[in-house]
Amino acid sequence: MLYWPMPNVLYIEGYALDRFSEEVWALKPVHQNKVGLVCDAGIENDLRIHHLLAVDARNASLGLPVIEYMVTDTPLQVLIIMLRN
């Protein structure tokens, strides 16, 4: 997920938000996070390239420090369901 950093907003991912809500973890602001990217082996190569280009653009425009990326060993078999009105 890409986001626009704002000084009055803390970004956290879903798992951390769950732990915070359960009062298992506390949260505090940090000045710089290291970010990694995991790509599903099941996506087409062109789509993977588009994802990497988007990360590069984000890094160039806002300085997101993606330190490395990896591709899963096997496809994750993610199913996307699109609903239409």
- Residue 4 pLDDT: 63
**pLDDT for res 61:** 78
Residue ranges in the chain assigned as alpha helix (H): 14-21, 45-62
Q: How far apart are CA 73 and CA 85, in angstroms?
A: 37
Per-domain residue ranges of the chain: 14-71
Please tell me the distance from the alpha carbon of residue 49 to that of residue 84, in angstroms, as a whole number: 28
The pTM for the full model equals 0.54
10-residue averages of pLDDT along the chain (85 residues) = 64 79 82 79 91 86 80 86 74
